[in-house]
Amino acid sequence: GNSVTQMEGPVTLSEEAFLTINCTYTATGYPSLFWYVQYPGEGLQLLLKATKADDKGSNKGFEATYRKETTSFHLEKGSVQVSDSAVYFCALIVGGGSNYKLTFGKGTLLTVNP
Amino acid sequence: ETGVTQSPTHLIKTRGQQVTLRCSSQSGHNTVSWYQQALGQGPQFIFQYYREEENGRGNFPPRFSGLQFPNYSSELNVNALELDDSALYLCASSLDSHTDTQYFGPGTRLTVL
C-alpha cells in the first residue's frame, strides 16, 4: 500500500534559521507529492506540490524537490519566521484508480521563536 | 470565488448518538472527499463522492456514511457514536475525481463524551 513517513517533531527553531523537514514515501504507482500546512485551530492549506520526478514545488519561500531515486520530498526554507509556526504534513496521491485519495504522514509541529 | 466551508465548527455529542456534518465544495468542483484527523495524527481518508455517487472508501465501518447533493455539497453521517470518533473532520473538494489537488475546509471538531 501507500505510506508517508515524515520526521517526528516537534521542531523548534529561532527566527531566520534554516528549516528541513524530511519526508519519504512508499507508493504503488507514480505519486504526486504534496506539503500541506495546518495553523492552530484551522484546516489544511496546500503549501506546495510536485507531480513528477525532479520537479521542484515552491511557495512562500518553502521548497521541496521530488526525488524518485530516494523516494523523498523534503521540505526546506532558508529563513523561517515566527508566522511559519504550524504543523506540516507531507502527503501523496497515486492516480489512475477510480479515486484520488490523499495519504498523509503524521505531521511535524514547527515552532519558531523570535 | 468561495472556498470550502463546513458546518458546524464544533459539536459535542454523547456515545450512541448520531451526527451529521456538512460541507460546501468550492465553486466549480464536483468531487468531495472526507477525512478524519485524530489528535496528533495525520488525516485519514473516509470516502469520496463524485457527482452524487460514492467513489471510493477508506477503512471505516459502515456507520460512517455520506451523501452528495446535486449542487455538489456533501454530508457525513456517523451513527452510534463511539468515544474514538472524537476528531477533526475535514472536507476537501477537487475539480473532479481525477484531479490530484484537493482544497480543504476549516473542519468540524467533534467531541464524543
Q: Is the confidence at residue A85, as pLDDT, over 70?
A: yes
* Residue A107 near residue B37 (C-beta atoms within 8 A): no
What is residue A41's predicted lDDT score, i.e. its pLDDT?
Answer: 82
What is residue A99's predicted lDDT score, i.e. its pLDDT?
Answer: 65
Q: Is the confidence at residue A3, as pLDDT, over 70?
A: yes
* Residue B93 near residue B25 (C-beta atoms within 8 A): yes
Mean pLDDT, residues A93-104 = 79
What is residue A98's predicted lDDT score, i.e. its pLDDT?
Answer: 59
pLDDT digits (tens, 9 = 90+) for B3-36: 899 999 999 999 999 999 999 999 889 999 999 9
Q: Indicate yes or no: CB of A43 within 8 angstroms of CB of B42.
A: no
Q: Is the confidence at residue A95, as pLDDT, over 80?
A: no
What is residue A8's predicted lDDT score, i.e. its pLDDT?
Answer: 83
For residue B42, list chain A residues with Cβ-Cβ distance below 8 A: 4, 89, 91, 104-107
* Residue A109 near residue B108 (C-beta atoms within 8 A): no
Give the one of B41, B45, B106 whose C-beta lies nearest to A43's C-beta.
B106
- The SS3 of residue B84 is helix
Give the one of B43, B97, B103 whose C-beta lies nearest to A100's C-beta.
B97
What is residue A65's predicted lDDT score, i.e. its pLDDT?
Answer: 98
Mean pLDDT, residues A78-89 = 96
* Residue A2 near residue A31 (C-beta atoms within 8 A): yes
Q: What cell was used for A101?
A: 485519495
What is residue A47's predicted lDDT score, i.e. its pLDDT?
Answer: 97
* Of A14-18, A73-77, B14-18, B92-96, minimum mean pLDDT range: B92-96
Contacting residues for B61 by C-beta, under 8 A, at least 6 apart: none
- Which amino acid appears at position A43 of this protein? G
Pairing of strands A11-14, A108-113: parallel
Q: Which residues of A touch B (CB under 8 A)?
A: 4, 32, 34, 36, 42-46, 49, 51, 89, 91, 93, 95, 97-107
Confidence of residue B109 (pLDDT cuts 50, 70, 90): very high
For residue B40, list chain A residues with Cβ-Cβ distance below 8 A: 106-107
pLDDT digits (tens, 9 = 90+) for A13-64: 999 999 999 999 999 888 999 999 999 888 899 999 999 999 999 999 999 9
Residue with cell 489528535: B39
Confidence of residue B89 (pLDDT cuts 50, 70, 90): very high
What is residue A43's predicted lDDT score, i.e. its pLDDT?
Answer: 87
Higher pLDDT, B97 or A79: A79
Q: Is the confidence at residue B42, as pLDDT, over 60?
A: yes
* Residue B38 near residue B21 (C-beta atoms within 8 A): no
